[in-house]
Structure 1
Amino acid sequence: MKALLLYPQFPQSFWSYDRFMEIAGLKAAIPPLGIITVAALLPQDWEIRFCDRNVTLETAEDWQWCDLVIISAMLVQKPDFHALIKKAVQLGKQVAVGGPYPTSLPQDALDSGAHYLILDEGEITVPLFLEALSQGKNRGIFRAAEKPDVTLSPMPRFDLLKRDAYLMMAMQFSRGCPFSCEFCDIITLYGRKPRTKEPSQAIAELQTLYDLGWRGSLFIVDDNFIGNQRNVKRFLRELIPWVKQHNYPFTFITEASVNLAEDDELLHLMREAGFYAVFLGIETPDQDSLQVTNKLQNTRNPLIEACRKINQAGMLIYAGFIIGFDGERTGAGKRIQAFVEQTSIPQPMLGILQALPNTALWNRLQQEQRLVTGVGATEVGDQNSLMNFKPTRPLAEIAREYVETFWTLYEPQNYLRRCLQQCLNIDSRTEGKQTMQFSPGQGLRLVIQLIWLQGFQRAEIRGQFWRQLWIILMKKPQVLNMYLGLCAAGEHFWKYRILARKRITQQLGYDPLEAPVLSQPKPVLVKLS
């Protein structure tokens, strides 16, 4: 069998870092770990070609060569995902699809003509697909009734990647999350019992990347790295001597729940292992909204204090925020903005609440007959979408707060000020390297372009750029790489805020920042189940 594995293109999004990638001479932030793990599950006698379409496009010869096309996608990749299925069908190829998007909305893939749906987690469903192929079946939907043991998961095919095209490499240690946030589809996809690899298994993956020549930052893509704290500590205790023995070849970034700040031992171990950053799902500083959405882990301790402790452990904070929770009071955007300023989180990801398929939020809103069809991220496939349900306060008010808050947070002076303060907040005393890393070629190119763009071209921040650079050099030169990387990322966000505003304007039919602010009707009260 000749299989062409394709990973669809991402549209411009918060995480695409388009302008940053251009400045650094890169193509994409991280590689697609799921599909190269699927590649490892395929028979060894198959011929495989892989194309991450965010890095390089497949050729006409690739299409002619293959018998089977395998595509994996997330929801944000929706447009290219469907275009690839339709092209493969038109060319007479068999098409198999998988990943979070078809797992959540399988009918979409069927409607575009996919022959095989390899859903849920591939360790179980890829063998079912292979068995169907061996029996000559030309269609099939393969689902898993249980969750696989990830200690049996194969080594991803890192060798298939054009590794020098990525900002970071990626690996996975665990799947699942113990919490029950109403809006989250991670627990729907991967369950509430975090399953982890063995420490030796994870170290073997790192060794493989090391042997392939990778040096630099590595994203541990777990949706909640600390979901199983016992096992993550076991891993970190083995990771620390490995990175020391190999002279700290990697620095790490991951995602975690805010209760990370409650565990001093865990913070210490992550610091010693070389974790330089963590993404937190903060969502909102409004305690009543956290209660409504069942994000109770964020209510146990003050969130600002949690951020301070994580900075003290040497880690930069990225964070997600959401507007549009049920019962939310007017001014939620201003309160998020104030929280971001207090914590100096440089790159807050702000979104409008979406009811994702099969989540507890989706099910509740369906019962309350509040879901709206034809709108939202599930329809349009991007992150700048109005909500796909009837909110409890005016949609126009929510849209205005979203655009206004996003626009202000990413005003260049505000952004650069937070970058400086966050880097100054970080306690960077550590034995090994604990900062964002670039290859020598990437780093030199980035610095030259950054100095030209922000030190000379951008008149509105030129003086601020030089003042802040001097402060970093004098006060904390050990985080210079991190600081310059954050500054360069600003070039992406300053363009992206224009796009986000444009997308909301198209959906509303008017620019929310130019519309007059009228007295708002009282919010509709909805009984919460």
Structure 2
Amino acid sequence: MAPSIYLINPRADFPSYHGAEIYDHLGLTSTTWIADLAITTVAAMLPDNFEVTLCDEYLNAVNLDSSADYIGLTGKSSQAGRMLELAQAFQQRGKVVIIGGPFASLSPEIVRPYCDILVRGEIEAIAPQLFADLQSGQWQTEYVGGQPDLRSSPTPRWDLYPNEYALTGCVQTSRGCPFECEFCDVIQYAGRKQRHKSVEQILAELDILYQHGYSGVFLADDNFTVFRRRSKELLVALRDWNHRQPDGGLRFSTQLSIDTAKEDEILQLCAEAGVHYVFIGIETPNEDSLRESKKRQNVGINLLDQLQRFLDHGIGIIGGMIVGFDSDGPDIFERQYRFAMATSIPIFTLGSLVAPQATPLYARMQKANRLLSGNDQNAYAAAAPWQTNIVPELMSRETLLTGIRWLGNRLYHPNAFGQRVLQFIESYNQSASAISNFRKARRKIDGETLEIVRDVRRLGSDEAKMFSEIMTATRSNPVTQWHVLQMMFQYRQIRYMYEQGHFWEPHLAEYSEPNFSDTSSPIALV
């Protein structure tokens, strides 16, 4: 009898800036922002005689009564609570539970009691042995993978995935990042030596995603442009591939570092290839905080000028923003707000500094006895972005929470958010050589995205006024319309996230600075 396995990507423990939980909240089709690469890639490594079923919990309920011989769970720290909850439920039903992925690799001692088989590290090199053992029924309790050559990574099994319910497809062209940011757990898992798939592999994966109807793809690299020669070669290939598509090209998004702006050629190639927006970990305008966290690539430059260079090439930005570094005093919240309002970046992923397990920051906080204790929050880091697992250096935890609560409400008050969108519309300049023939988004969930955008008007009179002003302004720069719709969708998701966490208190935006004497917030500190 053929062995069977049920591969599950659990929901996150809390809505996120990059989530799509707003669809469910508004009674629309369950949707995920980015199609899951983990379970589809693992499925591609299974021997042909395995029966495999995929479950992305963002899209389908987990079947706790699955008849599969093996249950495979994966997840990041943001999914850890739900992942372990599901593992325990399957254990109670007598199932053989396998757990792998980033969280299992970085926090094995937490995961160990919840699984029969623990998979640490990347799976490509150990997959043949693991699945042969499962097939024979003589499996080990732990398998440890390394950092394999990505040319051995198979094409994900997108034919098994419900692609019609994912907004964006996903391709990982590399793993690893040479930088050494103290708070980053990615390099602890994927390493500082970046490894790459071949251009041929990447284009083959894009061909399949295109066939499945996607109009956009997230390039899930830790730092897409860090090796310039390789990045340029790939961008040229993406540009040429996009021009060949009969139904229009794909819009790409990715993650990269701000030092990319130093080289005009690579920004131009991004625009020509269809890279429409990027996530940049700006973190803070406080250079002392950047130095302490070893985020050296952001030090000694004019952040505002460098960020504008992306917009000058028609590339939108989502900015990472962190408060609570050791060099941050109570003035950091006003300073971050002033910085944000000087940019043309509407979306900032604001969060408190957290110390994920296995990071240098975690080790330093542990040595200084500054890690919060009492449960597994230490290892999960934080579910909601305003939570933290460390004790700040220059302010109390209460001051940190009061400050970030003020900052979040100030940033996303419709007046301030609307102002940044208007600044974006005014300053955005699409490159003359940029691809302009993009594939139309025609699926049901794409239509529902517009319903979510329109729902912003129903949040209140200030929101309705903001919406009207923004839509009117896009007529003066029509090439910004796609970007603006994405921003408005993400704004609605953020408002939902803030409301779910009892974080949304718009009256705080009336104050020009945080009121640190106000301790009435119902939000949990951890």
- Mark yes or no: TM-score above 0.5: yes
Q: Would the alpha carbon gap of residues 127 and 264 (structure 1) be closer, same or farther in structure 2, given more than 3 Å must change?
A: same
Equivalent residue runs for 1:338-353 within 5 Å: 338-353=338-353
Instruction: Describe the shift of the 1:495–1:442 C-alpha distance in structure 2 as closer, same or farther (beyond 3 A).
Output: closer
1:495 aligns with 2:496: yes
Change (3 A) 1:137 1:377: same
| 1:72 to 1:205, Cα distance in 2 relative to 1, 3 A | same
Q: Equivalent of 1:16, from 19, 28, 48?
A: 19
The answer to whether the 8 A contact 1:26-1:166 is kept is no
1:84 is matched with: 86
1:253-299 alpha-carbon deviations (Å, 9 max, x no partner)? 00001111011111111110001100000110001110111101001
1:95 aligns with 2:100: no
1:187 corresponds in structure 2 to 187
- Counterparts of 1:254 and 1:449 in 2: how far apart (Å)? 23
Alpha carbons 1:26, 1:167 under 8 Å: kept: no
Instruction: Note the C-alpha offset of 1:89.
Output: 1.3
Partner of 1:158: 158
Further displaced range: 416-425 or 178-187 = 416-425
The letter of the residue matching 1:433 is: S
8 A contact 1:20–1:489 mirrored in 2 = no
Between the aligned partners of 2:436 and 2:374, the Cα distance in structure 1 is 48
RMSD of aligned residue pairs (Cα, Å):
2.5
* Bigger Cα displacement from structure 2, 46-55 vs 456-465: 456-465
Letter in 1 for 2:220: V
Give 1:521's aligned residue.
none
8 A contact 2:16–2:494 mirrored in 1: no
Contact residue 225 and residue 256 of structure 1 kept, 8 A: yes
1:38 partnered with 2:54 = no
Task: Give the aligned partner of residue 508 of structure 1.
Answer: none
The alpha carbon displacement at 1:155 in A equals 0.5
Partner residue in 2 for 1:527: none
Structure 2 residue aligned with 1:384 = 385
- Determine the structure 1 residue equivalent to 2:270: 270
SS in 2 for 1:218: strand
What are the within-5 Å matches in structure 2 for residues 110-149 of structure 1?
A: 110-112=112-114, 114-133=115-134, 136-144=137-145, 146-149=146-149
Residue deviations 1:450-475 (CA, integer Å, cap 9, x gap): 44x345663223233223211212x1
AA aligned to 2:223 is N
Contact 1:19 1:492 survives alignment (8 Å): yes
Contact 1:118 1:126 in 2 (8 A): no
SS at match of 1:215: coil
Q: Give the whole-Å Cα distance in 2 for the aligned partners of 1:455 and 1:412.
A: 11
Structure 2: gaps spanning 5 or more residues: 506-512, 520-526
- Find out whether 1:29 has 2:33 as its counterpart: yes
Instruction: Report SS of the residue matched to 1:484.
Output: helix
Map of 1:364-513 to 2, 5 A cutoff?
364-374=364-374, 376=377, 378-379=379-380, 382-384=383-385, 386-393=387-394, 394-429=396-431, 430-433=433-436, 438-439=441-442, 441-447=444-450, 450-451=453-454, 453-455=455-457, 458-473=460-475, 475-502=476-503
Identify the residue that residue 259 of structure 1 maps to in structure 2. 259
Equivalent position amino acid for 1:5 in 2: L
What is the distance in 1 between the residues matched to 2:57 and 2:446?
Answer: 25
Q: TM-score, normalised by structure 2?
A: 0.89
What are the Cα deviations for residues 213-240 of structure 1, in whole angstroms up to 9, with x where unaligned? x231111111111122221211111111
Deviations, residues 72-97 of structure 1 (Å, cap 9, x unaligned): 11111122211211122122211111
Q: Which residue of 2 aligns with 1:240?
A: 239
Per-residue deviation at 1:199?
0.8
Moved more, 325-334 or 46-55: 325-334
> In structure 1, what is the Cα distance between the partners aligned to 2:459 and 2:372?
45
Equivalent residue in structure 1 for 2:70, among 68, 74, 77 = 68
CA gap of 1:130–1:442, structure 2 versus 1, over 3 A, is closer
DSSP-derived class of the 2:124 partner: helix
Q: Are the equivalent residues in 2 in contact too, given 1:403–1:500 (CA < 8 A)?
A: no
Deviations 1:330-378 (A, max 9, x none): 2111111111111121110111111111111112222333323236463
Instruction: Map Cα deviations across residues 100-127 of structure 1 (whole Å, 9 max, x no partner).
Output: 1111111222222x11111110112323
Counterpart contact for 1:20–1:491, Cα < 8 Å? no
SS in 2 for 1:320: strand
Structure 1 residues 370, 446: closer, same or farther in 2, change over 3 A? closer
Give the match's secondary structure for 2:39: helix
The aligned amino acid for 2:22 is R
Would the aligned equivalents of 2:164 and 2:443 in 1 still touch at CA under 8 Å? Answer: no
SS of residue matched to 1:343: coil
SS of the equivalent of 2:33 reads coil
Q: Which amino acid aligns with 1:143?
A: V
Deviates more, 1:170-179 or 1:220-229: 220-229
Q: Which moved more, 1:375-384 or 1:355-364?
A: 375-384
In structure 2, the residue matched to 1:524 is none
Q: Distance in 2 between matches of 1:34 and 1:158?
A: 11
